[in-house]
Amino acid sequence: MSRLQKQLFSSILTLFLAIGIIAPNQTQASSDGGGYWLPEDKVEKASELMKEGKSIGDLGIKQDQIQQEDGFQTLDKLEKADQQSQSTYRANLSPPIKTAVGWTPPEFDYDHIQTVEECRQSPDSGSQTGYIKNRYSFCWSHVATYEIIDCRGWICNTEAVQFQFTEIGYGSNQSRKMRVFYTIDDILVTHPSLNGAKLKIDIVCESKLNPGDCREDPDFPATERTIAQWKNTNFSLEMFTSEAPPATDANPDRLGYMDFWPELTLTHAPNKFKKTIDGIKQTVRYDSARYMFAFPDQYFRQGAVFSKATPILDVPITKPEFEMLDEAGEHWKFAMDHPEQTVPQIPGKQIPGAVGESTLRRMYTKRHQDDYNRNRNKTRRVCAREFGDEDNTGKQCDEYPFASTWQGSATNGADDFSVRMISADSNQAAGTWLGAWYAYDRILDGDEFHVEVEAPEKIATIRSEGQPQDGQDNRSSDNFTIDNIPPYATKLQWKIVDGPKDAKFDVMKDISFGVDETIFYDLTDGSESEIETSEDFYIARPENTGGESFTVEVYAIP
């Protein structure tokens, strides 16, 4: 090559580098492509870059890391990990049924995740823990992207495959078996040749306590299809079983633990591309607790549950069909909300169980008969002492926390409990219902749970003048706050508890350095409204008061 030719080639090469036709540094850094789980807030931008043939590397998304096996762990450590989980779920149970022989529990009918759409509608479905709807239904959904760098000579093109992966796990209240159903949707390829790429999806499991905790069903192996085939058949299924270990003093319920996670591998032979990405881990607890029994003849002697979520016993007493639980539920709620006002009156009393606070822990009564008897005997003594002089015809002594928990009257280590006389009918209905829930939700001996009673909850009290305050056009009260709304509440209810019952008023919001805004119009005694929260509400424009002041109580209602 002549000197002039060398100079010309060097100039052209420099020009190509300058305008980006050749990018040796970028090509070297990402020549083998990559696999990613896309954060939700970057999916749209990543899709745009893919369609333009550009890399998503500039979005700062890290390539996925392969899950590591952790090996066997002790039962204490596994149970502690369950208890430390921040996730909760509300158990939905039908009401007990009144029969000629007394109260009987409802049939077991669990609320599973039914569709991919239901899963994806949950804000937790794409999180690092996934969405645990209840002990028998879990799901996780995320967008996966594979980048394939196709280099020919100095010129490299970025092609990509993208899809939404969703897995739904199903436990069991009859067997040591769990299933994982998975789909891929919204498949996008940026070049037709990628329809021939092969995608293998495998649900990987790892035994955590016993060697037999993770047994893959050979009839449901991993699934590998081309992208074109996945477009036609976008779902598959894998199943796992657990071999029950022998019962021991340390493990009487024959527990087993298994971690599982999805492993997705894309292979494109023409580009010598093969990448694997792993989804999040989830835990399954197996048991063979033979005392999972609901009167008179429902037995659930084996099970598989998603244990990394604390159950909430949901008591919806405002629903008409739960009327039989009104007295018991009101007692439980009052005990948690106002422990200092409960019987026996003890200064500084704190009663556990509320959501967001300390839990209750089940005591299987036949395994701990002496401790259970201590709770029952102490409760009877306190009720006899406190209510013995009253007419208790048709009534029974109800205790909270329950005698079947380690927070019961004698086993809590203090006097952090409440007793109340309620109708025998409500007490018996509540006992039957609680026992059924233990079996239906597989609340084993030592399992923790919360109690939440869905009842109107007073969240504010306001005193208002009968007319606007001096110097004010609208304001007739001081500012008040509405916050701390219970999660089950759907509306606010406004009650006039003192003063003219026919009063009508608005509620406005105090806006500093601005014009105050009317939030609620024409409220009267018993009015219901949508939920709005603020620290700066006030009563405004009262009518029909005759100039008399009045008091308003605000309730959050289911």
Give one DSSP letter per residue of 236-302, joined into a string. Answer: EEEEEE-PPPPP-SS-TT--EEEEEEEEEEEEEGGGTEEEEEE---EEEEEE--TT-EETTTEE---
CA gap 387, 123 in Å, rounded: 49
Token output for 80 = 């502690």
Pick from 153, 119, 154: nearest CA to 17: 154
pLDDT of residue 16: 34
Longest dimension (CA), the chain: 119
Beta bridge partners of 223: 201
Beta bridge partners of 496: 552
E strand or H helix that includes residue 47: helix 43-51
308 in Cβ contact with 323 (< 8 Å): no
Q: Which helix (H) or strand (E) holds 467?
A: none
Cα radius of gyration (the chain) = 31
Is 361:448 a contact under the CB 8 Å cutoff?
yes
Return d(Cα 330, Cα 313) in angstroms, integer: 14
Contact between 556 and 543 (Cβ < 8 Å)? no
Residue-wise pLDDT for 190-238, tens only, equals: 999 999 999 999 999 999 999 999 999 999 999 999 999 999 999 999 9
Inter-residue contact 93 to 117 (CB < 8 Å)? no
Q: Are 202 and 261 in contact (CB under 8 A)?
A: no
Q: Give the separation between CA 411 and CA 416, rounded to whole angstroms.
A: 10
Residues 357/455, Cβ–Cβ less than 8 Å: no
Positions of the chain with pLDDT lower than 50, given as ranges:
1-31
CB 556 within 8 A of CB 485: yes
Give pTM, 2 decimals: 0.87
Instruction: Report the distance separating Cα 469 and Cα 395, nearest Å.
Output: 50
What is the structure's pLDDT at 150?
Answer: 78
Q: Minimal CA–CA distance to 528: which of 504, 554, 497?
A: 554
Instruction: Please name the amino acid found at residue 18.
Output: A
Please report where in the chains the tokens 């008091």 appear, as a residue.
551
Give helix 326-337 / helix 424-440 axis angle, nearest 10°. 80
Q: Do 306 and 131 contact (CB within 8 A), yes or no?
A: no
Distances (CA, A) of 281 to 16, 165, 262: 46, 15, 8
The secondary structure of residue 477, as a DSSP letter, is: B
What's the CA gap between 160 and 35, in Å, rounded?
10
pLDDT given at position 24: 32
Distance from C-alpha of 524 to C-alpha of 532, rounded to nearest angstrom: 17
Cis peptide before 344 (omega within 30 of 0): yes
Beta strand ranges found along 135-278 (DSSP E):
137-152, 155-170, 177-189, 198-207, 215-216, 223-226, 235-241, 256-268, 273-278
In this predicted structure, what is the pLDDT of residue 439?
97
Residue of 415, 317, 318, 337 whose CA lies nearest to 375: 415
The length of the chain in residues reads 558
H or E element at residue 193: none
Nearest residue to 416 via CA among 362, 336, 314 = 336
Q: Distance (Å, rounded) from C-alpha 304 to C-alpha 258?
A: 10
The confidence score (pLDDT) of residue 6 equals 41
